[in-house]
Structure 1
């Protein structure tokens, strides 16, 4: 067992501060975060150019150390040496809380193993910020970060999480959101989902609705900017899988595309192509033909 007294008790070691940075709007930087960045000996930055702009904005002159996924293995021993010498370090990511999608977690584990204090500063977090305005149940929830990129791996991932009752939070590239929602629909069925883009920025936007509604909307208007996907958890009824898609989902998908301006045959063709379904079966489902 290990007990960390962050601010009381003598120690010859320095402390590792985990400092959140704005996810878009610079006004989301906290007074405490600025104070810590001004007072530490070094700032370990994921991208020194990006962090340099932030430091310049707040007139902070603390020296930076480049620390990212490609050099973390080599840098961690040096950073530990600095901490053991009594230097205080701050670790930041390009946006939001550190240690989520950067190598900060490995540094945290290494510091804890050496009995070095690790102090987390509260601040901006994209997942929680989006969740509480999504309209979906904020608790319980699960944050997963980035999804696998390949369709097969995504569907396998969703299949593993199919029965989870918690609201699920994902980060995703705007170029993959539409395909990810299609993969999600094929496994989860037509759950409620919220897609958030450009959080805290001028073009912040929330798209709320069923998965099929968003799939249809995005086929006409692709997304731009940084995105999150928040999807409701299982309500007690397991969805049919891709191999056992029900007619209601198909009917809804075709209808949404028609309402978006496509002709019925065009909509049927697109649904069949997007979900790798037999075109005649999609046609029959839409027209109610047994």
Structure 2
């Protein structure tokens, strides 16, 4: 059991100290717009003995903008084991460290998670300095339910692991948030559509920046949009899942008595072309369009 009282010691006037010795501060930084930097974050960075950064070049630009002359040290995925021990030594000796990521809150999908865990294990106080966060910013503007959500970070690159991850996420209903790069976006949307059906999605890119853009619709609509408008910038995807329980309502489905051929023919009669009809039938049945196509070819 570890009980942390972050501000046990205060000055005589009762105000919290900005910095206390031997503590690890997790400092939120802007995700694009520098005006989102808080006064408290600036003060903590000024007062810290060391600033540990994922990319020192990126962080140096931020420090220069706010005229912060802190001692900067790199801490990233490739040096986290050795550098992590060095930082822990400094904390043990009573020095203060402010940990930052390239943008947003540290320790989310970055090596800061390891340093936090090690500090907690050694009963070193870890203090959050809140700031901007891309995942939560995308969630609240998505227009999707926010009462229950999961953050999945970056999805696996391996096709098999990706498929397994998508199916695990779909075991229960709720909203899922993931990060994705522009060059993988189309592929990921295709995989999501195949695994999850035509869910509602919000795609946010360049949040707080001059080219901020939020696309809202179904997975199929956003997939078509991406094909016509090549993606640029990092994306945050917010998807509302019905869950597997909703996918397995076959007895209650209007198309339950139809063959796949009849199912596709129904949508064709509604005015859609065969490709679109196959896509809609695939979504209804929780199948991929390729599987629908193969079934029809075999007939």
Normalised by the size of structure 1, how large is the TM-score? 0.84
1:26 to 34, 38, 41: 34
Q: 1:51 to 1:210 in 2, by over 3 A?
A: same
- Aligned twin of 2:226: 218
- 3-state SS of the aligned residue for 2:247? coil
Separation in 1, partners of 2:175, 2:262: 23
CA contact (8 A) 1:189 1:249 kept: no
Q: Single out whichever of 84-93 and 227-236 deviates more from structure 2.
A: 227-236
CA contact (8 A) 1:187 1:239 kept: no
- Aligned twin of 2:6: 6
Q: Deviation of residue 81 (structure 1)?
A: 1.1
Separation in 1, partners of 2:189, 2:262: 17
CA contact (8 A) 2:31 2:208 kept: yes
Is 1:51 paired with 2:47? no
- Aligned twin of 2:247: 238
Is 1:191 paired with 2:199? yes
Q: Deviation of residue 278 (structure 1)?
A: 6.6
CA contact (8 A) 1:182 1:275 kept: no
Aligned length: 273
Is 1:76 paired with 2:72? no
- 3-state SS of the aligned residue for 1:116? coil
Q: Deviations over 1:20-61 (max 9, x none)?
A: 111111111111000100000110000000000000000000
CA contact (8 A) 1:192 1:210 kept: yes
CA contact (8 A) 2:264 2:274 kept: no
CA contact (8 A) 2:278 2:292 kept: no
CA contact (8 A) 1:170 1:230 kept: yes
Q: Deviation of residue 270 (structure 1)?
A: 11
- 3-state SS of the aligned residue for 1:212? helix
Normalised by the size of structure 2, how large is the TM-score? 0.81
- Aligned twin of 1:287: none
1:47-126 aligned at under 5 Å gives the runs 47-126=55-134
CA contact (8 A) 1:142 1:167 kept: yes
Separation in 2, partners of 1:22, 1:210: 30
2:209 to 201, 217, 241: 201
- Aligned twin of 1:154: 162
- 3-state SS of the aligned residue for 1:232? strand
Q: 1:56 to 1:204 in 2, by over 3 A?
A: same
Aligned CA-pair RMSD:
3.4
CA contact (8 A) 1:14 1:85 kept: yes
2:179 to 171, 174, 180: 171
Separation in 2, partners of 1:103, 1:249: 49
CA contact (8 A) 2:278 2:289 kept: no
Separation in 2, partners of 1:32, 1:24: 18
Separation in 1, partners of 2:179, 2:62: 23
Q: Deviation of residue 151 (structure 1)?
A: 2.8
CA contact (8 A) 1:250 1:282 kept: no
- 3-state SS of the aligned residue for 2:117? helix
Separation in 2, partners of 1:202, 1:91: 27
